[in-house]
């Protein structure tokens, strides 16, 4: 089975490894190298790095609009294309190019959370369950029929980064299982998505990370979890900008206004919300590293 794999970030690497174990990955497509890290040096994507380790040819077109790029893709004579967090829109001509079509791994239980940021939006919404779907791609945004799915529990203390890593591994497993069926001559049954329960996970914007203290504490706590490790929730407390890495909602019914600091103790910083209060447990000062509430209290005493 000849496979073309298209993906870019770390999330796609387990799926690439699974594809290599179940067939011959004849080409890897990934986005062009871009500046990354503190030094802003030009670095290959995680998928490219994995492909080069495996001596798989790598292609990095800006898009598939020109005929030459599409013909180059066709020349691989692949049976199937697997797409995982590639970051480019594939035209219909590409989707129809392969005998077994194009498969996509999506990090939600479709049709809930179609779109760019399903992991973070699920946590932000307070969902207790998500999953991964193996989907047959079509022209619409994450609208294709589902071939296989795996439900996954979201734990109350799970951050966006934790859930990302867990779903990435399940993404690799679902690719493995789907390809194993295909190798055995069994095409996974395609189940159309329901027209009910459709939600869209729009792209994360840095501006969203600024905490609105007028919201209920549970919503803010979910936002803190969802936006860890990026873009990281932030606020200003007593004139100091803080990035919030960990927080919990606590019951409170006092007269203070949203945004007022209730207490700064070794247990955390308590801030009044639109409903209840938020206890900030782990935070980061400008120019510093993430620290615990006790370390923050000690630092304040040292400054004073």
Non-local CB neighbours of 295 within 8 Å, separated by 6+ positions: none
Spatial separation of the C-alpha atoms in residues 208 and 114, rounded to whole Å? 19
The annotation status of 204 as a binding-site residue, yes or no, is no
Q: Please tell me the distance from the alpha carbon of residue 201 to that of residue 252, in angstroms, as a whole number.
A: 31
Contact 250/262 with Cβ under 8 angstroms?
no
Phi-psi category of 282—alpha, beta or left, where left has phi over 0 and alpha has psi -120 to 50? beta
Helix (H, G, I), strand (E, B) or coil at 304: coil
Q: Are 241 and 286 in contact (CB under 8 A)?
A: yes
- Residue 93 marked ligand-binding: no
- The DSSP output letter for 28 is E
109 in a labelled binding site: yes
- Rounded to a whole number of angstroms, the distance between the first and last alpha carbons of the chain is 68
Nearest alpha carbon to residue 45 among 12, 89, 88, 5: 12
Q: Is beta strand 200-201 parallel, antiparallel or unpaired with respect to 146-153?
A: unpaired
What is the per-residue DSSP string for 202-233? PPP-GGGGB--TTSBHHHHHHHHHHTTTTT-E
Structure-token match 């979910």, residue found: 222
Annotated binding residues for (6S)-5,6,7,8-tetrahydrofolate, as ranges?
108-111
**Binding-site annotation, residues:** 108-111
């Amino acid at each position: 089975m000849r496979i073309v794999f298209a993906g870019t970030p770390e999330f796609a690497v387990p799926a690439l490894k699974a594809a290599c174990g179940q067939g011959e990955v004849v080409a890897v497509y990934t986005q062009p190298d871009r500046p990354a890290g503190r030094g802003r040096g030009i670095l290959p994507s995680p998928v490219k790095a994995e492909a080069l380790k495996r001596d798989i040819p790598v292609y990095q077109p800006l898009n598939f609009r020109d005929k030459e790029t599409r013909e180059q893709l066709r020349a691989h004579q692949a049976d199937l294309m697997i797409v995982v967090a590639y970051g480019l829109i594939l035209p219909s001509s590409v989707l129809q190019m392969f005998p077994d079509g194009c498969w996509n791994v999506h990090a939600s239980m479709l049709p809930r959370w179609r779109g760019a940021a399903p992991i973070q939006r699920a946590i932000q919404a307070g969902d207790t369950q998500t999953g991964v779907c193996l989907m047959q791609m079509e022209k619409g945004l994450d609208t294709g029929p589902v071939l296989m799915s795996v439900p996954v529990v979201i734990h109350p203390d799970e951050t966006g980064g934790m859930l990302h890593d867990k779903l990435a591994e399940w993404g690799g497993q679902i690719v493995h299982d789907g390809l194993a069926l295909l190798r055995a001559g069994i095409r996974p049954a395609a189940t159309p998505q329901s027209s009910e329960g459709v939600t869209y996970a729009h792209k994360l914007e840095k501006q969203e990370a600024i905490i609105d203290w007028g919201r209920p504490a549970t919503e803010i706590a979910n936002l803190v979890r969802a936006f860890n490790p990026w873009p990281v929730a932030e606020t200003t407390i007593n004139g100091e900008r803080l990035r919030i890495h960990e927080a919990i909602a606590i019951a409170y019914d006092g007269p203070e206004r949203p945004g007022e600091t209730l207490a700064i103790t070794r247990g955390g910083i308590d801030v009044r919300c639109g409903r209840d209060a938020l206890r900030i447990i782990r935070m980061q000062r400008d120019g510093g590293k993430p620290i615990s509430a006790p370390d923050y209290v000690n630092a304040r005493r040292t400054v004073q």
